[in-house]
Amino acid sequence: MRGIELVRFLSTGFAILTILACGEQPIDVQALKSKPKEYVGSDTCKMCHLEHFDSWKMTLHSRMLQDAQKNRDAIVTEINEKEIRADLAKLGDKLKVPADKIYVPKIEEIKYTIGSQWKQRYLVEKDGKLYIAPVQYNLDTHRWVNYHEADWDKRPWIMGCGGCHATGADLEKNTFVEPGVACEACHGKGSWHAALPKTEVFEKRATIVNPAKLTMGVAVQICGSCHNRGKSTKVKGAGWPVGYEPGKALEAFYKSTSFEAGDVKHVYANEFSKGHHQQYIDWSMSKHAKEGVTCTSCHFVHQVGMPPTRSQTVGAGSKQCLICHDMINNNLAHSIHSFGNCVGCHMPRIAESAESGDIHSHVFVALLPKDTLANPVIPNSCQTCHKHKDQDLKQLQAEYDALAVLPKPVGPSIQPIHLHEPKKESPKPAEKKESPQKPAQR
Ligand code: HEC
Ligand code: HEC
Ligand code: HEC
Ligand code: HEC
Ligand code: HEC
Ligand code: HEC
Ligand code: HEC
Ligand code: HEC
């Protein structure tokens, strides 16, 4: 099956490539550039960047929005109305519409799925517009919950979500070019670049955005254009940066809203994220941001030839941090555990996508029990593990204070390296004596 597909698309690729590379008329670069840049879709990029394409296909970016009419398997669960209503009924008076009155889509009404990791929502069509059906499936807890059950058909998807979950969303035309976060969401419109023959390497490079070649600020704003809760500065009511393109300054198109007065739903009192898709604002507060450690220092977007880890991190677990922090202070907080999962303490799961505690903090600051004692609405890193029904926070802090003052040896000291000293002959191995470990006295 895969083989056949591969052959099929390789041959289409070759056919189009031949046309592009040795087509009858040579490409007139000036004429090409006199037309505005357009979106061409990732299937066009695939013809020349097959490995990037394959790698991207394995990431969640490519699967954010999936056509459920073409592929029913995109729906991660059963659409069983009875079970859905039974789950909704458990929510009792949290519901604005009674459980038996909430609109539940039939499977054939579902046009697209949104998400597949923590939660899945469903797009249905009404009067030519896409709307988010008012039921949501939470994957970790296998339960259905409500989602804007009272006003769902007054919240068009393209306005609230379109630009972040699809590529080339157009509010005026009510269309998008491609479902999911595709190549051109991060590299910009590709029509000039794609049309140029392969041999025009420099023109090619000059006609597409390579984030690695931008200054750090605008490069990270590409990620920040979606991993950031906010509102459009151009179109009232739009929840995404309408008109923004990779390489531009995000601030001109988008305003973060998480810190707005009274928004206790999306940030804690210490301004750490409580809501999801806010990694950019968390990160902005961090020492990493100040030192130029950006999203792509830790995350791959498409690692050629390598399947991604969860969240596409460069290393798994603590290794992610030890790549750079090869020496850390072994005293204080770092002395209390016989293991050291850096992520567990420095990136506690305190933000929520589907159920509380599924998303990692990106401020990289470990929160101690005393932070919660000082303000009970602020969570701490420790209780993602040290959570028992009768866990006494004061006691945990006291234990920590007692342990974290003890200086600990920091392992073998570092030997100075003498680069220019003449090489000495290695000493002959000493004659075998009795083991020095043997105790002197019995
Ligand atoms: C006809 C073949 C072709 C197509 C189609 C194509 N590319 Fe390229 N791309 C190239 C070539 C050739 C280069 C230059 C390689 C080099 O730098 O050595 C390149 C370079 C790039 C670079 C790196 C630019 C730089 O400055 O380093 C990016 C990013 C890129 N392409 C993205 C895309 C995207 C996104 C699409 C789809 C919109 C696309 N390409 C479609 C052939 C193609
Ligand atoms: C989520 C954003 C994002 C998406 C989606 C994305 N890219 Fe990239 N791409 C990047 C970033 C960031 C870099 C620079 C990587 C780095 O910092 O080394 C890059 C680099 C590249 C390069 C330059 C060579 C390299 O590997 O560094 C090519 C070519 C490329 N991407 C092609 C593609 C194609 C083709 C697609 C779609 C199949 C795609 N990209 C989708 C963000 C993205
Ligand atoms: C156009 C919007 C958009 C842009 C631009 C974007 N992302 Fe994303 N990103 C998303 C969405 C939406 C998801 C959730 C996908 C899903 O769950 O299906 C996501 C998911 C992720 C994930 C989690 C993947 C996992 O396996 O859990 C990482 C990591 C990530 N993005 C990093 C980046 C980085 C780094 C950049 C910049 C180079 C970037 N994103 C640019 C929208 C975007
Ligand atoms: C500013 C960009 C942006 C907007 C607007 C936005 N999202 Fe997202 N959404 C993201 C990003 C980025 C992620 C993944 C990262 C995360 O969850 O922390 C995500 C994750 C999700 C997920 C979970 C995906 C999974 O695999 O579990 C769902 C479902 C979702 N969004 C639905 C919506 C809906 C519905 C709307 C509109 C009402 C919306 N989002 C508006 C950027 C956005
Ligand atoms: C210092 C390293 C580091 C930096 C910088 C970083 N991340 Fe992460 N990120 C991680 C780690 C570690 C995880 C959790 C990996 C896991 O276990 O799934 C993660 C998880 C995520 C996830 C998945 C949701 C979750 O919390 O589980 C998204 C989305 C994400 N990061 C986006 C971003 C974006 C966008 C940026 C830049 C604004 C960024 N990250 C910067 C290390 C980093
Ligand atoms: C690409 C390199 C790089 C990676 C990967 C990285 N860091 Fe950092 N980190 C730095 C730099 C540079 C600084 C700022 C200089 C310093 O304070 O040491 C820093 C600072 C910090 C600080 C703040 C120190 C202070 O004095 O306030 C913490 C905490 C931290 N990192 C934790 C982590 C954790 C946890 C991870 C893994 C999820 C990680 N780092 C991954 C490079 C990195
Ligand atoms: C038990 C929770 C915990 C674990 C596990 C942990 N840290 Fe820390 N870390 C802290 C706390 C709390 C601080 C604040 C300073 C202190 O009290 O030592 C800190 C401080 C830091 C600092 C800044 C100052 C310093 O002392 O160097 C860096 C960098 C850092 N940690 C990196 C890491 C890395 C890398 C790992 C994984 C190898 C790690 N931490 C594991 C809790 C933890
Ligand atoms: C990733 C899970 C995890 C996190 C996060 C965590 N702990 Fe622990 N902690 C453990 C486990 C498991 C043990 C027992 C095994 C051990 O001592 O290594 C332990 C042991 C302890 C002990 C007793 C050590 C001893 O020698 O008696 C103290 C005190 C402690 N933790 C405090 C903290 C504090 C304070 C934090 C937050 C900064 C924290 N822990 C974060 C899992 C965790």
**CA-210 nearest atom, ligand 1:** 29
pLDDT band at 42 (very low <50, low <70, confident <90, very high): very high
272 CA from centroid of ligand 7 (Å):
18
**Region 94-106: what's the mean pLDDT?**
96
Average pLDDT, the chain: 87
**Region 402-411: what's the mean pLDDT?**
69
Q: What is the pLDDT, as a whole number, of residue 95?
A: 95
* CA distance to 112, 215, 243, 280, 418, per residue, from 220 (Å): 29, 9, 17, 8, 41
Residue 45 near residue 209, CB atoms below 8 Å? no
Q: What is the pLDDT, as a whole number, of residue 249?
A: 96
Cβ of 337 closer than 6 Å to ligand 8, yes or no, is yes
Q: What is the pLDDT, as a whole number, of residue 413?
A: 56
Greatest Cα pair distance in the chain: 95
d(CA 77, CA 354): 15
| Torsions phi, psi for 306 (to 5 deg) | -135, 130
d(CA 287, CA 363): 8
* Residue nearest to ligand 8 atom 3, measured at CA: 385
Q: What is the pLDDT, as a whole number, of residue 420?
A: 61
Q: What is the pLDDT, as a whole number, of residue 423?
A: 52
Q: Which ranges of 306-374 does DSSP label H, i.e. alpha helix?
A: 319-322, 342-346, 369-374
pLDDT tens figures, 17-28: 544 554 445 778
pLDDT tens figures, 304-347: 877 667 789 988 889 899 999 988 887 788 888 877 789 999 99
Please say if the pLDDT value at position 66 is more than 60.
yes
Tokens (6 digits) for 174: 């009510």
Residue 411 near residue 328, CB atoms below 8 Å? no
Q: What is the pLDDT, as a whole number, of residue 412?
A: 64
pLDDT tens figures, 155-201: 999 999 999 999 999 999 999 999 999 999 999 999 999 999 988 89
Please count the helices (runs of H) and the strands (runs of E) in the chain: 18, 10
Chain mean position to CA 322: 21
**CA-228 nearest atom, ligand 4:** 1
d(CA 33, CA 295): 32
Please say if the pLDDT value at position 228 is more than 90.
yes
**CA-360 nearest atom, ligand 5:** 26
426 CA from centroid of ligand 3 (Å):
55
Q: What is the pLDDT, as a whole number, of residue 434?
A: 47
Please say if the pLDDT value at position 281 is more than 60.
yes
More confident residue, 391 or 409: 391
User: Which helix H or strand E contains 166, and what residues bound it?
Assistant: strand 166-167
Cβ of 48 closer than 6 Å to ligand 1, yes or no, is yes
Strands (E), 99-165: 112-114, 119-126, 129-132, 135-138, 143-146
Q: What is the pLDDT, as a whole number, of residue 6?
A: 53
pLDDT band at 432 (very low <50, low <70, confident <90, very high): very low
Please say if the pLDDT value at position 57 is more than 80.
yes
Please say if the pLDDT value at position 439 is more than 50.
no
202 CA from centroid of ligand 8 (Å):
55
pLDDT band at 114 (very low <50, low <70, confident <90, very high): very high
Which of 48-52, 351-355, 402-406 is predicted most confidently?
A: 48-52
- Inter-residue long-range contacts of 49-55, CB under 8 Å, 24+ positions, other chains counted: 49/183, 50/13, 51/304, 51/305, 52/183, 52/302, 52/304, 53/183, 55/302, 55/303, 55/304, 55/305, 55/306, 55/307, 55/308
**Region 127-153: what's the mean pLDDT?**
96
**Region 403-432: what's the mean pLDDT?**
58
Please say if the pLDDT value at position 419 is more than 70.
no
**CA-368 nearest atom, ligand 7:** 12
Percent of the chain residues topping a pLDDT of 90: 67
314 CA from centroid of ligand 1 (Å):
23
* Residues near ligand 4 (Cβ within 6 A): 114-119, 121, 132, 160-161, 164, 226-228, 239-240, 276-277, 353, 359
Which of 86-90, 100-104, 200-204 has the least mean pLDDT?
200-204
Going by the DSSP 8-state scheme, the letter that residue 80 receives in this structure is: -
**Is this model's pTM higher than 0.85 or not?**
yes
Tokens (6 digits) for 284: 């902005």
Cβ of 345 closer than 6 Å to ligand 7, yes or no, is yes
Q: Which of the ligands is closest to the CA of residue 366?
A: 7
Please say if the pLDDT value at position 135 is more than 60.
yes
**Region 379-400: what's the mean pLDDT?**
85
Q: What is the pLDDT, as a whole number, of residue 280?
A: 97
338 CA from centroid of ligand 6 (Å):
21
| Torsions phi, psi for 313 (to 5 deg) | -80, 155
Residue for token pair 């075998």:
432
Q: What is the pLDDT, as a whole number, of residue 435?
A: 46
Which residues neighbour 129 within 8 Å (Cβ) at sequence distance 6 or greater? 156, 157, 158, 174
* Residue nearest to ligand 6 atom 38, measured at CA: 321
Q: What is the pLDDT, as a whole number, of residue 426?
A: 53
More confident residue, 438 or 112: 112
Which of 145-159, 213-227, 271-285, 384-398 has the least mean pLDDT?
384-398
Q: Which of 227, 278, 297 to mutate to test the pocket of ligand 3 (most atoms within 8 A of CB)?
A: 227
Percent of the chain residues topping a pLDDT of 70: 84
